[in-house]
Chain A
Amino acid sequence: MSDATRDEVCVVACAESWRGDGAVLASAFGVIPTLGVRLARATFEPDLLISDGEAILVANDLPIGSNEKTVEGWVPFRTVFDLVWSGRRHVMMGATQIDLHGNQNISALGDHARPKVQLIGVRGAPGNTINHATSYWIQNHSARTFVERVDMISGIGTDHGAADLRRVVTNLCVFDFDTPDGSMRVRSLHPGVTVDEVLTNTGFSPVVPDDIPETRPPTPEELSLIREVLDPGDLRKTEVKP
């Protein structure tokens, strides 16, 4: 029996999104995805390329917040676009809204001409989702985020030509899109979470298989990497309550 807490289960679930990717630029936004991508490379996906969020490719297993970088390359934003458009990238973004087919909104709530709430902007979401693998991290799984219809399609879904939508990892469960019509499907439930809890907090009806496995817990090696190497300051617990 693992003594892993929910935040650590989420880190591993994020890490699993990059399994099998090989030498691609692996980009992550948020603490848990950042830990996930670093964990994946430290264990089962050693070929991933990871940037420091500025312009440096970092070769070592960098603890969150550390500046002790082993530099293996330079990726200014212009080079990031080269990688985006070459398809050799897998990004994990956030979403203020996301729908059944994985259409994502980070631009604005309400009418775009005069939004009720102005958000950060579409950023690179349209270009990312049509060019390369994309996953999402939703730290607070709720029906306000998982909606019937997004107000402004920023990242495109499987019904709008997404190149390769992989996973949606939340604080409750993992979704994928492995269905005939590219609908979101409950892939696994985090330990202690019920299907009803997921459905209550999802504003549409995802595909629910008869047998849903539990999200796999961290191995002892993964746990010690998370706790002792990558995040000794427990920053992950600010994003997901254990």
Chain B
Amino acid sequence: MTTPDLRTTIDEAVAELRDGMTIGFGGWGSRRKPMAVVRAIARSSLKDLTIASYGGPDVGLLCAAGKVKRVVFGFVTLDSIPLDPHFRAARESGAVEATEMDEGMFYLSLLAASWRVPFLPTRAGLGSDVMRINPSLKTVRSPYGDEELVAVPPLGLDAAFVHLNRGDRRGNAQFLGPDLYFDDLFLSAAERRFVTCERLVETEDLLSEGSVHTLRINRTMVDGIAEVPLGAHFTSCEPDYPVPNRWLKEYARAAADPDAWSAYRKRFVEVSDEDYRSVVSS
């Protein structure tokens, strides 16, 4: 009998991606974003991607790298810096298209994809311009009464990436911070599902740092898992590390002009994970 082993590498996972794919990233704003994967995609030759995210610097960095055709989002923020200047520049120059929706609708769209149903009903969105800018969004009348609701369609993803605190080689993963966010649903809504984690541990050690309730990613949701220390850096990965503000600011400043971006890209993006870790640890 052999133990399941889903271990892979970021390079192998990114090699499976194709131009034009729809890719989802877990986390929320400046929290627990799979940034090592985002940098690998930025280094790749991929283009015309649709990015779905509770947006943070994952969105902005890929916009700056010219990888993005469309962003599906309810917000894009760096939290301590309210607006991601890279995303802002990409939108204001017309470089990327926007599918913008209420952040609860976004949740339902992942849930609908995950449950394999054609829509989920909600009041969220009614009366707002979310309906105007998304003309394909339809409403549905309750079969039990007269109420008209938004029919949120599934947001199917070609691939999803999340970064968790711990995992095992079998493909289970664990969050130790305050919130899972919607990481389980990004995985469940996707065709190909990849987890990076701060540390791979033996299965029998999974409960040594958190209760059983923190084991929210199970093997049915995962195709590959890789240990990537500082894999969420320069977003937070509580309790392993808070937002490293110095590096977040460095990223934001790189939006100032093309020279600033090119210097940033050379120093932080066009480098191996090991080199990235040594730059930000120095």
Chain A interface residues toward B at CB < 8 A: 54-56, 76-78, 81, 84-85, 107-108, 112-127, 129-131, 152-156, 160-162
Total interface residues on B, using CB and 8 Å?
Answer: 39
A161 touches B103 (CB 8 A): no
- CB proximity to A under 8 Å, residues B80-111: 82-83, 87-88, 91-92, 94, 97-98, 100-105, 107
Given contacts A120-B75, A122-B74, A123-B74, contact A152 B127 (CB under 8 A): no
Give complex CA distance A129, B102 in Å.
11
- Write out, one digit per residue, whether chain B residues 144-184 have a CB within 8 A of any chain A CB (1) or not (0): 00000000000000000000000000000000001111100
- Neighbour of B82 across the interface among A55, A84, A120, CB < 8 A: A120
B124 within 8 A of A: yes
Please name all residues of chain A whose beta carbon is closer than 8 Å to the beta carbon of B92 when the two chains form the complex. Answer: 114-118
B91 touches A121 (CB 8 A): no
Give complex CA distance A126, B270 in Å.
40
B14 within 8 A of A: no
Please name all residues of chain B whose beta carbon is closer than 8 Å to the beta carbon of A131 when the two chains form the complex. Answer: 123-124
A121 touches B76 (CB 8 A): yes
Which of chain A's residues has its CB closest to B178's CB?
Answer: A55
A sample of 11 more A-B contacts (CB under 8 A), given A85-B122, A161-B126, is A76-B179, A78-B182, A107-B129, A115-B92, A117-B92, A118-B83, A118-B92, A120-B75, A120-B76, A130-B128, A162-B127
Give complex CA distance A122, B99 in Å.
11
Sampled A-B contacts (10; CB under 8 Å): A76-B178, A77-B182, A78-B180, A84-B104, A112-B129, A118-B92, A121-B77, A127-B105, A129-B128, A130-B124
Inter-chain contact total with CB atoms closer than 8 Å: 122
Give complex CA distance A155, B130 in Å.
10
What is the minimal beta-carbon distance from B106 to any residue of chain A, in angstroms?
10
Give complex CA distance A33, B228 in Å.
40
Which of chain B's residues has its CB closest to A84's CB?
Answer: B104
A108 touches B83 (CB 8 A): no
- Neighbour of B129 across the interface among A55, A153, A161, CB < 8 A: A153
B179 touches A119 (CB 8 A): no
A-side interface mostly:
loop
- Write out, one digit per residue, whether chain B residues 132-150 have a CB within 8 A of any chain A CB (1) or not (0): 1100000000000000000
What is the minimal beta-carbon distance from A62 to any residue of chain B, in angstroms?
16
B107 touches A78 (CB 8 A): yes
- CB proximity to A under 8 Å, residues B43-92: 55, 73-77, 82-83, 87-88, 91-92
A123 touches B103 (CB 8 A): yes
What is the minimal beta-carbon distance from A43 to any residue of chain B, in angstroms?
28
Please name all residues of chain B whose beta carbon is closer than 8 Å to the beta carbon of A156 when the two chains form the complex. Answer: 126-128
A126 touches B133 (CB 8 A): no
Please name all residues of chain A whose beta carbon is closer than 8 Å to the beta carbon of B186 when the two chains form the complex. Answer: none
Give complex CA distance A89, B82 in Å.
24
Please name all residues of chain B whose beta carbon is closer than 8 Å to the beta carbon of A76 when the two chains form the complex. Answer: 178-181
Please name all residues of chain A whose beta carbon is closer than 8 Å to the beta carbon of B87 when the two chains form the complex. Answer: 118
Ranked 8 nearest A-B pairs via Cβ: A127-B124, A121-B75, A160-B127, A126-B128, A55-B178, A118-B91, A156-B127, A161-B127
B229 within 8 A of A: no
Which of chain A's residues has its CB closest to B98's CB?
Answer: A112
Please name all residues of chain B whose beta carbon is closer than 8 Å to the beta carbon of A155 when the two chains form the complex. Answer: 128
Given contacts A77-B181, A115-B92, A160-B128, contact A122 B102 (CB under 8 A): yes
Please name all residues of chain A whose beta carbon is closer than 8 Å to the beta carbon of B130 when the two chains form the complex. Answer: 122, 126, 154
Please name all residues of chain B whose beta carbon is closer than 8 Å to the beta carbon of A120 when the two chains form the complex. Answer: 75-77, 82-83
- Neighbour of B128 across the interface among A56, A113, A121, A125, CB < 8 A: A125
What is the minimal beta-carbon distance from B54 to any residue of chain A, in angstroms?
8
Please name all residues of chain A whose beta carbon is closer than 8 Å to the beta carbon of B126 when the two chains form the complex. Answer: 126, 130, 156, 161
Q: Which one of B87, B104, B107 has the greatest number of beta carbons of chain A within 10 Å?
A: B104
Please name all residues of chain B whose beta carbon is closer than 8 Å to the beta carbon of A121 when the two chains form the complex. Answer: 55, 73-77, 100
What is the minimal beta-carbon distance from B210 to any residue of chain A, in angstroms?
13
B261 within 8 A of A: no
Which of chain B's residues has its CB closest to A112's CB?
Answer: B133
A85 touches B104 (CB 8 A): yes
Which of chain B's residues has its CB closest to A53's CB?
Answer: B79
Please name all residues of chain B whose beta carbon is closer than 8 Å to the beta carbon of A126 when the two chains form the complex. Answer: 102, 105, 124-128, 130
What is the minimal beta-carbon distance from A124 to any residue of chain B, in angstroms?
5
- Neighbour of A124 across the interface among B103, B123, B178, B181, CB < 8 A: B103
Give complex CA distance A127, B103 in Å.
8
A124 touches B102 (CB 8 A): yes
Please name all residues of chain A whose beta carbon is closer than 8 Å to the beta carbon of B127 when the two chains form the complex. Answer: 126, 130, 153, 156, 160-162
Give complex CA distance A120, B55 in Å.
10
B123 touches A54 (CB 8 A): no
